[in-house]
Structure 1
Amino acid sequence: MAGKLEGLTADSRLVSLDALRGFTVLAMIIVNVPGSWSHVYSPLLHSHWHGATPTDLVFPFFLFIVGVSIALAFERQLDQGKSKKELVKKVLVRALKIFTLGIFLWMFPKFDLGNIRIPGVLQRISIVFLACSLLYIYGDWKAQVKWAVGLLVGYWAIMTFVPVPIDDVIQQALSTGETLRSGGMVTVDGIRKVGEGLIAANYEPGTNMESWLDRRLVPGRLWEKTWDPEGFLSTFPAIGTGIAGMLTGRLLLSKLDSDKKVIWLFVAGFSAFVAGNVFDWFFPINKHIWTSSYVLYAAGLAAMSLAFFVWLVDVQGKVSWTKLGVIFGSNAVVAYVLHGVILKLLALANIPLRSGFFDGLVAVGVPEKLSSLIWALFYSLVICFIPVYFLYKKKVFIKL
């Protein structure tokens, strides 16, 4: 097994990547379905603003894996002689399916067009997949590096130096020192006027350039009332996360021997992690606005995690523990969609399974936060596991 990675080609399948994808989707589900949002362990919540918790790493890990998968999949198809025009057609269709599915998941089951939210997790995945796929098909690794650097530096420059026009939200923040988000009013510090109708560039909630553009350009409902974490401008650095994954995929497909691949993957990941922490001094790590430092920080941790998985699974041959991840990873998007649909169906049928489970545990003396976590584990490892395990056993792999 020690030499397995040396012979990796575009036709090979990395069990380590499948497992990491599955465990990432499983983590997505767990953090999305606590028994009670009032009782959650802090690592299972997103950071309030600047900084990052383990939960803040889940989404960028998935986008990073999307990038790795693009490199492996498209290299195989290009080797098979498929035309770029044919590949682009498939990319467009798949991206549209994923985006539409994201809209469906938001609207189901009421389909209230007056409350529609256009951005979302699946929608961002579809855009990143589309952009990265086109860049992989038509560009080499040098072009991908240039695009990644351009996106991250450009986003930093816009957020740091471009004054923000004053609208009603910013005017309220200037008057009261607060702005609205989904949890209520939050304090905004240090914003100041720099001219007629403008405030200085800033990274504060609701008053930064990303938030202002969301209010101007994004139709429908915004998740945070005055901006959206999957909004317009922050999608550009998110593409950088996908590019980091594509470059990782190119490394895995290189002619280096197994040990060198793992070492270089870990070194590259650690370097990105350090760079992200240094960049944090100038552009704070922040998932809500997907800062450039956050891209480097999260991509670095994702690369090091993949390096460990590759070494343990594909080099050392330790595969028995990966089965749960592989099952979820084999139908990752299906698992994510099911976790939302099942909850909504239970609510539609007026079946209080979630609250009953949580309240029952609390009634017998289980601490509230632990009860909330136990429900999340039960829901993901039992209720969501059953359908994806059935698909896996039947060898049904739904590719959107």
Structure 2
Amino acid sequence: MKSIKQSNRLISLDILRGVTIAGMIMVNNPGSWGSIYKPLKHASWHGLTPTDLVFPFFMFIMGVSTFMSLRKYNFEPSRESVWKIAKRTIIIFLIGLGLNWFGQLSSGLGAGENFITAASHFDTIRILGVMQRLALAYGFAALIGILFKPKQIVWIIATLLVGYFFILFFGNGFEMSEQNIISIVDQNLWGEAHMYKDWGPDGQITLDPEGLLSTLPSIAHVLIGFLFGKMIVENKNNHKRVEKVMIWGTVLAFAGLLLQYG
């Protein structure tokens, strides 16, 4: 009988990735957009639904995967490791930008424009987006992962989250309006024409949910996944793994509840 080669993959991470992708497909295809089951809708502003967990799950998974992929570089900065991080960041960002361009192209063609005109709306293309946020969060988190020790990363995470809380607190960041500091930063960097338009209490507003400033907690989120990856990979006892994940997961959940109050 042939021996079965043991896989080095983290099966639990693959399962979480599969569940997350299934969730993403479900919330993006709810059946009828006119009558959506409430858990399949994002919270309008304050609050949390299962749909709001899909993107954070992806960032957590990215953090765990980043830890596993950087092990071969021994978590040390080198020409090879930095180039890999930079290349992946640029590619993911450009894919996101390309998807935004393709969306504009499709809209233009649907409105009866010819291909050249529809493909040339660069003055209104959205700069940021989901893929761009993943790119930036990965890039910064991966660089931090090879430049700092785990204990230092804990302090970086705390600084990012607490610092972001105070930025929101003093910058009208808890209000869904164009006077929100998140919107103000993007307006000054990219201009309104290159930003996402959302619907606020009084109509349409320019407030990008994947804005540059709000990428800060996303970097922290990926770093949390990075540290969880370290904890899971380096601890071979499954009972200890589950115990530590449950304890730290509970601590972080309560920390999140505290940071939401503004």
Fold similarity call, TM over 0.5: yes
Q: How many percent identity over aligned positions?
A: 38
How far apart are the structure 2 equivalents of 1:34 and 1:273?
28
Cα–Cα, structure 1 residues 124 and 117, in superposed 2: closer, same or farther, change >3 Å? same
Q: Deviations over 1:323-368 (max 9, x none)?
A: xxxxxxxxxxxxxxxxxxxxxxxxxxxxxxxxxxxxxxxxxxxxxx
2:106 is equivalent to residue 107 of structure 1 = no
How far apart are the structure 2 equivalents of 1:113 and 1:249?
40
Q: Which letter maps to 2:222?
A: G
2:214 is equivalent to residue 234 of structure 1 = yes
| Structure 2 spans left out of the alignment, 5+ residues | 1-5, 106-118, 199-204
What stretches of structure 1 move > 4 A for 4+ residues in a row? none
Give the Å deviation of 1:276: 1.8
Q: Which letter maps to 1:218?
A: W
TM-score by length of 2: 0.83
Cα–Cα, structure 1 residues 44 and 82, in superposed 2: closer, same or farther, change >3 Å? same
2:196 to 222, 245, 250: 222
Equivalent residues in 2 for 1:2-13, closer than 5 Å = 12-13=8-9
Q: Deviations over 1:154-184 (max 9, x none)?
A: 111111124xxxxxxxxxxxxxxxxxxxxxx
SS at match of 1:114: coil
2:181 is equivalent to residue 212 of structure 1 = no
RCO greater where, 1 or 2, for CA within 8 Å and sep 6 or more?
Answer: 1
Q: Which position in structure 2 is the counterpart of 1:19?
A: 15
Q: Which position in structure 2 is the counterpart of 1:264?
A: 244
Q: Which letter maps to 1:211?
A: S
1:205 and 1:211 in contact (8 A); partners too: no
How far apart are the structure 1 equivalents of 2:195 and 2:259?
32
Q: Which letter maps to 1:227?
A: L
SS at match of 2:52: helix
How far apart are the structure 2 equivalents of 1:40 and 1:150?
38
SS at match of 1:243: helix
Cα–Cα, structure 1 residues 118 and 260, in superposed 2: closer, same or farther, change >3 Å? same
Give the Å deviation of 1:83: 6.4
2:158 is equivalent to residue 149 of structure 1 = yes
Q: Which letter maps to 1:160?
A: F
Q: Which letter maps to 1:95?
A: T
| Structure 1 spans left out of the alignment, 5+ residues | 1-7, 163-200, 284-400
Give the Å deviation of 1:150: 0.7
Counting matched residue pairs gives 233
Give the Å deviation of 1:84: 2.0
How far apart are the structure 2 equivalents of 1:214 and 1:38?
31
Of residues 104-113 and 246-255 in structure 1, the stretch that sits farther from structure 2 once superposed is 104-113
Larger Rg: 1
Equivalent residues in 2 for 1:1-400, closer than 5 Å = 12-75=8-71, 77-79=72-74, 84-108=78-102, 110=105, 111=119, 112-162=121-171, 201-206=172-177, 207-219=179-191, 220-224=194-198, 225-255=205-235, 257-280=237-260, 282-283=261-262
Q: Which position in structure 1 is the counterpart of 2:109?
A: none
Query: Considering only aligned residues, what root-mean-square deviation do their CA atoms show, in Å?
Result: 2.1
Give the Å deviation of 1:29: 2.2
